[in-house]
Structure 1
Amino acid sequence: MRKSKHRKSRTTLFAQGNSQFPRAGHVALLASLLLFGFSSFTGAQSTPFSHDNWDALVKTCVVPTVDRHSTAAEYDCFAERRDLLNTYLNDLSGVSEAMHLGESSDQQLAFLINAYNAWTVALILDNWPDLESIRDLGSILRSPWKKPFIPLFGDTVSLDDIEHGMIREPGRFDDPRIHFAVNCASIGCPALRQEAYEGERIELQLEEQTRRFLADPSRNRFTGENLEISSIFKWYRDDFERGWRDNHSLHHFLSRYSDSLKLTDKQTSILRKGDMNLKFLDYDWRLNQSP
């Protein structure tokens, strides 16, 4: 009843007029209120989610490998800073789906990659130090990536839900370079980056990650007549052939990074034509821990 009475009094005010608020004043007042409300809304949306806590953690607890092609995680370091990690994870969980979708596409992608990597570290810590591989956390019936343990967007999801259901969702980001950013806590994985992903810099970050991974001869190399490459390219081949930046074949995608692969001009030409034999290397599932 109170709401109806209030609505009626406002209707009467604008219908009958008021000496203190002439009709022109009503228009100006409404315009100001609408402008203020719109500005406040857009201002709130323009402030991206802060990944500072995750940035501080990976800067401290992730170190380059000896050959500097990749990185290793110092899980003891992460364990000592578990409170900071938990704070970051709680902040991630506090973001609603509406808030997340209100950010730019680049900010959304950075958010999801950081979330995947941070919760992977948390999963390892829950079973640390008696762990040799993340695959040891699974079972015959369910892999560790399918375990729903992550409170996100008002639901409880798995790592697979984040990677395959959100990051790789067709028509959303469609960027195969994400495979060099998400980290599965294994030696065979691309490097866990020593900084958080940020929407404003993610194009540069993804490109650096791609080139760093492809330049690693333990994961990708030309031997004899074969280009030996990571099994990542076998498992997710479709992603690399879906037309990202007009790359419609895995050969074409790889030729884009021939300098990182250290191919000669002749080898690059053969690769671009699709005439080079590709051989997929075995994946190293050992934990990416620092020695």
Structure 2
Amino acid sequence: MKNAILFMVVISLSVGMMADVFDAWNEKYDGVVKDHVKQSVVKGIQGSYVDYKALRGDRRVDELRRALASLPSLSSQSRNKRLACWMNYYNFLTLYIVAKNPGLKGLQDLNKPGKNIWNQDAGKVSGKSYTLDHIEHKIIRSYGEPRIHFALVCAAVSCPNLLNEAYTADKLEKQLAKQLRVFALNKKKGIHLDKYNKTLKLSSLFDWFKSDFSNDSKKWLYNNKIIPRYALSYKVSYLNYDWDLNALPGKN
């Protein structure tokens, strides 16, 4: 009996120590995005934009990259902890790629013949190499949470705002709800309710990932209290997606 209790104590301590490692990484990432992500208007679109020049010179960026490669597996952590961490990892690796390639007009400048940037090696997590596509489509989307599409950022003007804090397990629900709400209220890149033409103009995200929204974006948005009932009868069109870099003016 004593041995069983001791074993459980050791397991609990081990899980707790691992959680501290993940929290430490998230806290450092939190500091980086707080320092380098600012509100601005670019090409007429209000949103959060990145000072990539300052990010490039921040020693914490390389520290985060090295630490990310050596983190233990997230498998023993809670669902929300795993999801929050993977979203942070995705956004960080995107920031890292841009920071290490100064002068980009957009992330797609790094596409190669037969392999776009999202299918190229983005970095290591827990000793394993990943592409951004693998992290997004094979890991994050597997959680069955459509609102992740308003939390992941592809470094483009039309992307959802990059949250200037780390996603955390305890705040995840509020953070995802906020990201959805902020994106939906942005008529230039999120949702534009055109009453005159009875048209619901949506971000292309709703087209590209329609299966995640139960193949009925209007109903999903209504059920999430984003659009009024009368908009369910509106026709749907999609906003042009601006792939230019989400950099603060003169800061790429």
Q: Tell me what 1:254 maps to.
A: 221
The residue type paired with residue 276 of structure 1 is: Y
Matches within 5 A, 1:203-222: 203-219=173-189, 220-222=191-193
Mapped contact 1:110–1:197 kept (Cα < 8 A): yes
Within the candidate set 75, 83, 88, 1:114 is matched to 88
1:258 Cα offset (Å) = 4.8
1:60 Cα offset (Å) = 0.4
Does 2:16 align with 1:58?
no
Mapped contact 2:86–2:135 kept (Cα < 8 A): yes
Q: Distance in 1 between matches of 2:162 and 2:39?
A: 9
Q: Tell me what 2:208 maps to.
A: 235
SS at match of 2:121: coil
Identity level (%): 26
1:43 Cα offset (Å) = 2.7
Structure with larger Rg: 1
TM-score, reference length from structure 2: 0.89
Mapped contact 1:211–1:257 kept (Cα < 8 A): no
RMSD over equivalenced CA pairs, Å = 1.8
Aligned residues: 239
Larger strand fraction of residues: 2
Deviations 1:226-267 (A, max 9, x none): 0101000000000011xxxxxx721111113555xxx5xxxx
Q: Tell me what 1:174 maps to.
A: 144
Matches within 5 A, 1:8-87: 31-46=1-16, 48=19, 49-50=22-23, 51-66=26-41, 69-81=46-58, 83-87=59-63
Q: Distance in 2 between matches of 1:253 and 1:121?
A: 30
Return the structure number with greater relative CO, CA threshold 8 A, min gap 6: 2
Does 2:137 align with 1:164?
yes
TM-score, reference length from structure 1: 0.78
1:150 Cα offset (Å) = 1.3
Q: Tell me what 1:16 maps to.
A: none
Contiguous gaps of at least 5 residues in structure 1 = 1-30, 242-247
Deviations 1:14-56 (A, max 9, x none): xxxxxxxxxxxxxxxxx22331221121232145212011000
Contiguous gaps of at least 5 residues in structure 2 = none
Find runs of 4+ consecutive structure 1 residues off by over 3 angstroms.
66-69, 256-259
Q: Distance in 1 between matches of 2:248 and 2:72?
A: 35
The residue type paired with residue 229 of structure 2 is: S
